[in-house]
């Protein structure tokens, strides 16, 4: 870049930054008269309700007054890690819940904090003693806790109301919701250990990050497993425990282990006995009225080579309905056959009634990393809208047998571009665009689901997402589905075992991630996001989107870029390029979408009808979490609360803050 061009860029950046600051100052919080006539409502589960709709009926904060939002209180957990002292960086992903007038959340170190929801004052904390010296498969993280009231206990009895904590080291702890003390009658001294009957465990690679669900006194949980280590990795068993005693009621393995297991006939006996994974690491959803739990499963092990696990690999990469009382498979729908791209079902299933043929039908809406949205009948698993099996590219790797077809929903149509050419490469300058174009041209790409190869394969959409664990939100009045998407590309290259060893330990080692894939002939090298020499994605912006889909027509109602590079670049450009994001949205009856998730340190509010950004509130760190909202009493304020702690993988601002916003009230 020439000196003149660099100077021009600096001047432009400074001018835009000044204009942005002036605009923000001009529309700062203005006091408003509060409307106390609307409903009161809480947020009693990770996804707002058991079905994960992330919808609130609250109406005090509206499109007209949202600019009067200001910080009401801030609480700091003290649990943050930049990796210099502890083995891993933190990723503060929790969504608090409101239960019996108290706000409960889990910290990045798997502690539980109980807060006064109107002041942020601490009521109690509980520390399960997580070993922070272990290098866990996930960053130091926890997405939340689960609340349950025992209908058979006296209301004031100890542990009549419980908080279930998923601990990163694969334990579940039951706590008295009032005192924070462990419920001694649950498991052993208040906890159950999931590291039983899952095969050989590599330290820190079998973990728990998402909250369980409870249906009719049965506590159901999945697990998270480190990727690409070996074929016989830990088993992705889903378990149902007695919510009172912690006794194991049932367990279900997505991979059939015996001839009597469901889907046994679709696996070879050797693969069924040996293959690990298929686990449900994303949050589960539940339909208590139907007694069903909906399980999003990941890939069978390992992610990028399936020669040791021929076939479709059912029930991996599926949404599975289980009978909560017994663990029986009611139905299963596979969204990716024989996964070779790390296309886990990473989003919580969303349960809603959607309009079909003029009537409302109980549905499971399943967003995916590929930008596909599957809409299935909640009771049968049958598609409510057409899904086509389309031919996809074959593998050219010896021993691999890729699925000849993959399912493509047509309603809604795929939400991300599914075709990409090197000519589409993007860069800030002609030089880095040329480097990106050459990088992309060297990779194999024959369209969606191009299998991993020896020369390296372009994976579009990226296995980062599409939609990830933040999932989606659903407005039942407008029948709008709102979700945030990553829009980028990844790559995966298979290397014969000896070559993989030489590259891993030699001077040719690259900056991406190496996976051993032990038990196969090949290791894998992958890049999560394909970047140019200036540290900017090689794919054109926007790299992050917020999208609304009309579920009655299946059409996009709107899409807008999500976030800026203000807190991620040397020059704090406020340009809305749309950036990579982790977290999710919530929607309110008043027509607002609240979301942070992006690389910059903001919580934003959008108009659900148009996608217009109406407000943004500055956060002290990255908001890689999903917000929640509540109003406690008829004369009370509506609060919007988010965890602001950043994400170690994003290289953004880390923190330990819980921030509550409310309207600034005009003095009478």
Q: Which residues form the catalytic set?
A: 342
Contact 327, 252 (CB under 8 A): yes
- Alpha-carbon separation of residue 15 from 1, 18, 271, 304, 572 (angstroms): 20, 5, 61, 46, 11
Rounded to whole angstroms, the Cα distance separating 666 from 140 reads 42
What ranges in 290-446 are assigned the alpha helix state H? 430-441
Q: In what order do the strands lie in the sheet with 122-126?
A: 97-99, 102-106, 112-115, 122-126
Establish how many alpha carbons lie within 13 A of residue 394's alpha carbon, considering only the half-sphere containing its beta carbon: 4
Neighbouring-strand partners of residue 498: none
Q: Supply 446's token pair.
A: 């024959």
Rounded to whole angstroms, the Cα distance separating 213 from 243 reads 10
Chain Cα centroid distance, residue 74: 24
Strands 586-588 and 55-56: parallel
3-class DSSP state for residue 548?
strand
Rounded to whole angstroms, the Cα distance separating 431 from 425 reads 11
| Nearest C-alpha neighbor of 650 from the set 139, 108, 224, 202 | 139
ω before 98 within 30° of 0 (cis)?
A: no
Rounded to whole angstroms, the Cα distance separating 473 from 467 reads 12
| Nearest C-alpha neighbor of 460 from the set 430, 440, 442 | 440
Rounded to whole angstroms, the Cα distance separating 155 from 59 reads 31
Rounded to whole angstroms, the Cα distance separating 300 from 379 reads 26
- Alpha-carbon separation of residue 117 from 96, 104, 114, 640, 660 (angstroms): 10, 9, 9, 10, 9
Neighbouring-strand partners of residue 391: 405
Strands 657-663 and 206-207: unpaired
Neighbouring-strand partners of residue 265: none
Q: Which residues contact 176 (CB under 8 A, 6 or more apart)?
A: 158, 159, 161, 162, 163, 182, 183
Helix (H) or strand (E) holding 25: helix 3-26
Burial of 123 (0-12, 13-18, 19+ CB in 10 A): middle
ω before 82 within 30° of 0 (cis)?
A: no
Rounded to whole angstroms, the Cα distance separating 635 from 65 reads 18
Instruction: Find tokens 């991979």 and name the residue.
Output: 255
Burial of 393 (0-12, 13-18, 19+ CB in 10 A): middle
Rounded to whole angstroms, the Cα distance separating 132 from 204 reads 10
- Reading phi first (left if > 0) and then psi (alpha if -120 to 50, else beta), residue 22 is in alpha
- Reading phi first (left if > 0) and then psi (alpha if -120 to 50, else beta), residue 548 is in beta
């Amino acid at each position: 870049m020439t000196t003149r061009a660099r100077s021009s860029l600096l001047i432009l950046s400074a001018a835009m930054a000044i204009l942005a600051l002036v605009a923000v100052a001009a529309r700062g919080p203005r006091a408003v008269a509060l409307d106390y006539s609307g409903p009161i409502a809480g947020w009693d589960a990770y996804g707002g309700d058991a079905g994960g709709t992330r919808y609130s009926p609250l109406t005090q904060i509206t499109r007209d007054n949202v600019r009067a939002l200001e910080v009401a209180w801030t609480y700091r957990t003290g649990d943050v890690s930049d990796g210099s002292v502890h083995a891993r960086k933190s990723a503060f992903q929790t969504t608090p819940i409101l239960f019996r007038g108290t706000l409960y959340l889990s910290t990045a170190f798997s502690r539980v904090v109980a807060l006064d929801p109107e002041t942020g004052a601490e009521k109690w904390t509980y520390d399960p003693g997580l070993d922070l010296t272990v290098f866990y498969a996930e960053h130091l993280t926890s997405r939340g806790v689960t609340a349950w009231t025992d209908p058979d206990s006296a209301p004031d009895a100890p542990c009549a109301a419980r908080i279930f904590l998923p601990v990163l080291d694969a334990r579940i702890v039951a706590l008295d919701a009032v005192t924070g003390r462990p419920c001694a009658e649950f498991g052993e001294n208040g906890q159950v250990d999931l590291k039983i009957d899952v095969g050989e465990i590599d330290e820190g690679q079998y973990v728990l990050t998402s909250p369980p669900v409870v249906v009719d006194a049965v506590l159901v949980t999945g697990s998270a497993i480190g990727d690409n280590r070996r074929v016989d990795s830990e088993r992705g068993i889903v378990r149902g425990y007695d919510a009172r005693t912690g006794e194991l009621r049932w367990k279900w393995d997505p991979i059939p282990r015996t001839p009597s297991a469901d889907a046994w006939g679709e696996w070879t006996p050797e693969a069924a006995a040996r293959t690990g994974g298929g686990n449900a690491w994303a949050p589960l959803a539940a339909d208590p009225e139907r007694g069903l739990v909906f399980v999003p499963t990941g890939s069978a092990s390992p992610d990028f080579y399936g020669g040791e696990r021929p076939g479709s690999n059912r029930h991996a990469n599926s949404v599975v309905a289980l009978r909560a009382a017994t663990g029986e498979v009611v139905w299963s729908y596979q969204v990716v056959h024989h996964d070779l791209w790390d296309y886990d079902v990473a989003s919580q299933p969303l349960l809603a009634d959607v309009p079909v043929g003029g009537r409302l039908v109980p549905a499971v809406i399943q967003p995916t990393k590929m930008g596909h949205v599957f809409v299935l009948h909640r009771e049968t698993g049958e598609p409510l809208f057409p899904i086509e099996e389309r031919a996809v590219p074959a593998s050219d790797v010896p021993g691999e047998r890729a699925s000849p077809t993959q399912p493509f929903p047509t309603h809604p149509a795929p939400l991300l571009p599914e075709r990409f050419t090197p000519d589409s490469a993007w860069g800030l300058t002609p030089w880095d665009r040329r480097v990106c174009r050459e990088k992309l041209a060297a990779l194999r790409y024959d369209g969606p689901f191009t299998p991993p190869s020896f020369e390296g394969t372009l994976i579009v959409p990226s296995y980062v997402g599409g939609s990830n664990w933040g999932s989606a939100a659903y407005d039942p009045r407008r029948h709008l589905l709102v979700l945030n998407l990553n829009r980028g590309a990844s790559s995966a290259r298979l290397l014969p075992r000896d070559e993989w060893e030489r590259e891993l330990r030699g001077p040719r080692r690259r900056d991406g991630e190496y996976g051993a894939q032990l038990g196969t002939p090949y290791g894998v090298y992958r890049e999560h996001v394909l970047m140019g020499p200036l540290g900017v994605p090689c794919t054109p912006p926007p790299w992050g989107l917020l999208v609304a889909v009309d579920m009655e027509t299946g059409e996009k109602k709107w899409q807008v870029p999500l976030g800026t590079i203000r807190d991620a670049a040397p020059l704090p450009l406020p340009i809305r390029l749309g950036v990579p994001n982790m977290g999710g949205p919530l929607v309110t009856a008043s027509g607002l979408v609240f979301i942070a998730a992006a690389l910059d340190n903001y919580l934003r509010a959008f108009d659900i009808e148009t996608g217009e950004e109406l407000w943004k509130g500055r956060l002290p760190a990255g908001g890689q979490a999903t917000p929640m909202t509540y109003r406690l009493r008829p004369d009370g304020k509506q609060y919007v609360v988010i965890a602001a702690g950043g994400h170690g993988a994003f290289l953004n601002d880390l923190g330990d803050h819980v921030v509550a916003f409310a309207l600034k009230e005009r003095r009478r």
